Copies of this chain bind each other. A is one copy, B any other.
Amino acid sequence: MSKEHNIPQRVVEKMYSEDFFSQWLGIKVVAIRQGYCLLQLTIVKQMLNGFGIAHGGISYSLADSALAFASNSYGIQSVSIETSISHTAPLTEGDVINAEATEVSRTNKIAIYNVHVTNQLNKTVALFKGTVYITHKEWFQKD
């Protein structure tokens, strides 16, 4: 397989290996390809807030990592401009959540992703939208 074909994997491996916060969250990369990413994490006690449910920052962080991986998967560095999230159902300790980032628009400067966050029963728990700016920097130098 040529190097070109595994750019999404190479980018995410590089990003993830230095992403200490995603590592602390215990994020697993389930799938990655150009413009797409599926991540998973398990809610642990340290992620709960004062209502006894997962802090809003947990599903945001998972979705934001999915946005970063999906939008950088082309091998060009992309940076977040604007993100929004609606938390539609509470999460408790032991829940396993998936965040699936799909590309809904892409020009040469701007791309938009929806990230759908679901629990282990496939119930929607959060809806995230992220807009990124596509820079000119490549992740890997061409040979």
- Residue numbers of A with Cβ under 8 A of B are 14-22, 24, 45-52, 54-58, 60-61, 64-65, 68, 80-88, 104-105, 107, 109-110, 112, 124, 127, 129, 131, 133
Interface of A is mostly: mixed
Closest residue on chain B to residue A47 by CB atoms: B21
Instruction: Give the docked Cα–Cα distance between A87 and B85 (Å).
Output: 14
Count of this chain's copies in the oligomeric assembly? 4
User: Could you tell me if B46 and A22 are in contact, using CB atoms closer than 8 angstroms?
Assistant: no
Q: Which residues of B contact A55 (CB under 8 A)?
A: 19, 21-22, 61, 64-65
A–B Cβ pairs within 8 angstroms, 19 of them: A18-B50, A20-B46, A20-B48, A21-B48, A22-B49, A50-B68, A56-B80, A60-B61, A60-B64, A83-B84, A83-B85, A83-B87, A84-B85, A86-B131, A88-B105, A104-B124, A109-B133, A112-B127, A129-B129
